[in-house]
Structure 1
Amino acid sequence: MRATRLTVAALAATLLLTACGSGGSGGSGGSDDDAKNEAGGACALTGVGVQVDAGAAPKAGDTGNVTVTITNHGAECTVTGFPAVRLKASGTTADVPEDKAATAQKVTLAKDATASFTLTYVRGATGGDKSLAVRTGEFSLPGATARHSFPWSYGDVALKGGASTPDASVTPFQQAGD
């Protein structure tokens, strides 16, 4: 009888661990310092899938948009506000400022629901001294430390006034889908 209880407990533990998948596709997930989504709490990168789509700017001076969509794979959770977005070039990291015209809101995500944010940028001249040769983008969910990285293949990003601030902005999370 005791062997049966241990076998059942081991089987239950195996099934529970098998059900825990990794969140995200494309790029790399964050670290383990953010937990899976807890019912009603803040969404965590480990509990969501990530999709990155772009309307790339074709030439210097044009505006492009990169839309990042997260899909909740766990318990109902929330995202409130703006993601923290960084653009990385060799040896340089630049924070993308929040869109000053946008208002942050609380978005509640049921299982399989989606939310998105948009990074809008001005394409810079390739190799120019007023451009950032971005190779990687990364973001974290509001209030979280874990980051999701994705390859940047949308060209250089212009810098504002020759400074190290990218000519870009990011919107807050918004409900996506139907």
Structure 2
Amino acid sequence: MRAIPLTVTTLAAALLLTACNDGGGSGGKNRSASGCAVGKVSVQAGSASVAPAAGDTGEVVVSITNQSAPCTLDGFPHVEVNQPGTTVTLKPQKGAKAQTLKLAKGDSATFTVTYVRGKDGDGKNLKAESMNVVLPGSDVGQNIPWKYGPIAGKTSQGDPEASVSAFQQAGD
């Protein structure tokens, strides 16, 4: 007689656990119990290939190093570029495929922000002062100064010529 209530209880528990995951796999706002989060990982802009002149393409590498318990990066980083009065979310690079990376304590991953430098004085440019990086599974971001010049706008400041790559494992 106990088999039926035990089976129902087990099934109910499994359904509740399944409901905790929203199934999202892209962007920075998906939820995951083992997601990497700012404060448990360090996030910093590393080496950059700065676009020297208007129309040139530059790349900024962002490094993530796990400082805590194992965690998972699942999806794309959520990157917002900020100028006073304007915040623009960068889209993933065309054709990029997100992969799930598991980071043990001390492991690192990177992603790249690729941008086209805008011409000084062009009203379509995003005169970025910072970028906010939010990792998948977290709502807390790391603000990083933007010191790479204006980002060209395709049609306006809200449509920048910039994108974000997928995460890549760093190191061995």
TM-score between the two structures when normalised by the length of structure 2: 0.77
Does the alignment pair 1:130 with 2:103?
no
Amino acid at match of 1:123: R
Amino acid at match of 2:55: G
Contact 1:68 1:116 in 2 (8 A): yes
Instruction: Find the counterpart in structure 1 of residue 44 from structure 2.
Output: 51
Instruction: Find the counterpart in structure 2 of residue 69 from structure 1.
Output: 63
Could you list the structure 1 runs, at least 4 aligned residues long, displaced by more than 4 angstroms after superposition: none
Contact 1:72 1:110 in 2 (8 A): yes
* Matches for 1:105-120 after TM superposition, within 5 Å: 105-120=99-114
* Among candidates 136, 140, 143, match of residue 146 of structure 1: 140
Shift of 1:67: 0.7
Percent identity between matched residues is 47
1:111-140 superposed Cα distances (whole Å, 9 cap, x missing partner): 100011100000001221121110111110
Identify unmatched segments of 5+ residues in structure 1: 1-37
Contact 1:95 1:165 in 2 (8 A): no
TM-score between the two structures when normalised by the length of structure 1: 0.75
Q: Say how many residue pairs are matched.
A: 139
Identify unmatched segments of 5+ residues in structure 2: 1-32
RMSD: 1.3
Contact 1:119 1:170 in 2 (8 A): yes
Amino acid at match of 2:89: D
Q: How many angstroms apart in 2 are the aligned matches of 1:161 and 1:141? A: 28
